[in-house]
Amino acid sequence: MTPLTWTILAMAGVTYGVRLWGLVLPGTRLRGYGRRFLDLVPVAVFAALAAGGLEGTGTVDNAWRLAAAAVTVIVVARTHALAPGLLLGLALYLAARALGWA
């Protein structure tokens, strides 16, 4: 094995360790502030993950990306389904790019 292969194994080890550590921590026994914190983690994480990727390459591109995001949120709120909202939002943005608007 090369030194790089050993490094990849170490990277895999720390990633797996972090994931497993979370799964074995006694989160179910948390009460009060700790429990509320855990309940809000998905909201906070999804918002953080979305915000980081929404920024585009300029003002016009950003406007179309925000429009696509608005379409996705509206469609998901109305249909309670992930795929239509995701695909419609993406289709709007790709269409704007294809037409040279974004």
Partner 1 sequence: MTAPPASGGFGAGFRAMMPLWVGVVPFGAVYAVTARAAGLGLVDTQLMSLLVFAGGSQFAAVGMIAAGAGPWTLVSTTLLINLRHLMYGVVVAATTELRGARRALAAHLLTDEAFGVHVAQGRGRPAFLIGAGLSLFVVWNAATFAGAVLSRSLPDPTAIGLDLVFPLAFLALLAPLVRDPRTLAVACVGGLSAWGLGTVVEPGIAILLGAALAAGMGAALPPGKALPSGKRVAS
Residues at the contact surface with partner 1, assessed by CB under 8 A:
2-12, 14-16, 18-28, 30, 33-34, 36-55, 65, 68-69, 72-73, 76-77, 80-83, 85-87, 89-90, 93-94, 97, 102
Torsions phi, psi of 99, nearest 5? -85, 0
Angle, CA of 85, 54 and 83, to the nearest 5°: 15
- Min dist CB 13 to partner 1, Å, is 8
- Min dist CB 93 to partner 1, Å, is 5
Q: Which residue is it, tokens 């419609």?
A: 88
Query: Could you count the other beta carbons within 10 Å of the beta carbon of residue 92?
Result: 19
* Closer residue to partner 1 (CB): 40 or 60: 40
* Closer residue to partner 1 (CB): 49 or 60: 49
Torsions phi, psi of 57, nearest 5? -105, 0
